[in-house]
Structure 1
Amino acid sequence: MIQQIYPQVQHDFTYELNKDLQIAAAHYIPTESAGKCKQLHGHTYFVNVTVAGDQLDDAGFLVNFQVLKKLLHDKFDHTTLNDHTDVFNNKDSNYFPTTEVVARVMWETIEHHLQKLPSKPTCLQVFVRETPTSYCIYRPKKGRTAQ
């Protein structure tokens, strides 16, 4: 994992944790306007997840790092993102597996899990680096919850 400083989110929570992940996956963007990206191709995505909260769970965790890995890495690593029709589709551009949508879907996946926890942590941002020179950050608007 590349050692990197990620853009920070200003917040008033007591605890903040960050989890880095590396995910190898293929995708294509199903529209002519995507140019070469319309063809199936792959990336090694570098992902950083920022979770914050005020209370720790019974194990002393805000959230277990292994849970975050299971939610994202175990689902998406070594797959074709377009095949995950539960979160992506080829009909609506809001669900094409672009870097922006991948970051949002990862946030939704994590936040959906976090909402079930008694300590109520929240995912503040998901950073997805698609190439050495291109990345996207998804930060929900205040009050946004996962579907």
Structure 2
Amino acid sequence: MMQQIYPVSPHSYAYELNKDFHFAAAHYIPHEDAGKCKVTHGHTYFTNITIVGDKLDDTGFLVNFKAIKNLIHKRFDHETLNQDPAFSDDHAELFPTTEVVARTIYEIIQEYLDTLTNQPVCLQVYLRETPTSYCIYRPKEVGK
């Protein structure tokens, strides 16, 4: 993966960690206005997760890079997103669009971070679906 610089919101935390990785997944958007996206198709998604915090854990990490990748890669790589319980064909807020996938990745990451004693938080998820299209999800309140 090429080194990239991602937009980040200003913050006052001492540490900022960024993890880049990719996963390949299929999906479809179950809505008549989705055009060609109504048909099952695939993408190689590139993602960047930004995590911030003030304290390191007992190993000297803000959070282990591998743990962050595994949470998403093991769940979504080479899968059909519509079949994952996080998504639904019945509600637009749960269709596996780039926006919803980015928000879902945030929720998965933050749920894991909430279990850590040093209390890191996910600041943003950057998700690129194609070479020309990406989405950034940032919660309205950090850590929420």
TM-score scaled by structure 1?
0.96
Q: What SS is found at the alignment partner of 1:20? A: strand
Shift of 1:21: 0.9
Written as runs of structure 1 = structure 2, the 5 A alignment for 1:66-105 is: 66-85=66-85, 87-105=86-104
The residue type paired with residue 60 of structure 1 is G
Q: What SS is found at the alignment partner of 1:68? A: helix
CA distance in 2, matches of 1:76, 1:34: 22
Q: What SS is found at the alignment partner of 1:103? A: helix
Counterpart of 2:106? 107
The residue type paired with residue 103 of structure 1 is A
CA distance in 2, matches of 1:58, 1:144: 21
Written as runs of structure 1 = structure 2, the 5 A alignment for 1:1-147 is: 1-85=1-85, 87-142=86-141, 145=144
Conserved 8 A contact 2:88-2:95: yes
RMSD (CA atoms): 0.9
The residue type paired with residue 50 of structure 1 is T
CA distance in 1, matches of 2:28, 2:114: 31
Q: What SS is found at the alignment partner of 1:69? A: helix
Q: 1:64 to 1:143 in 2, by over 3 A?
A: closer
CA distance in 2, matches of 1:59, 1:130: 34
Q: Unaligned regions of 5+ residues in structure 2, if any?
A: none
How many aligned positions are there? 144
CA distance in 2, matches of 1:76, 1:9: 27
Conserved 8 A contact 2:123-2:142: no
Offset from partner CA, 1:3-57 (integer Å, 9 cap, x none): 2110022000000000001110000000011110000000000000000000000
Offset from partner CA, 1:99-145 (integer Å, 9 cap, x none): 00000000000000101111000000000000000000000001562
Q: What SS is found at the alignment partner of 2:105? A: helix
Q: What SS is found at the alignment partner of 1:51? A: strand
Q: What SS is found at the alignment partner of 1:3? A: coil
CA distance in 2, matches of 1:141, 1:130: 23
CA distance in 1, matches of 2:142, 2:57: 23
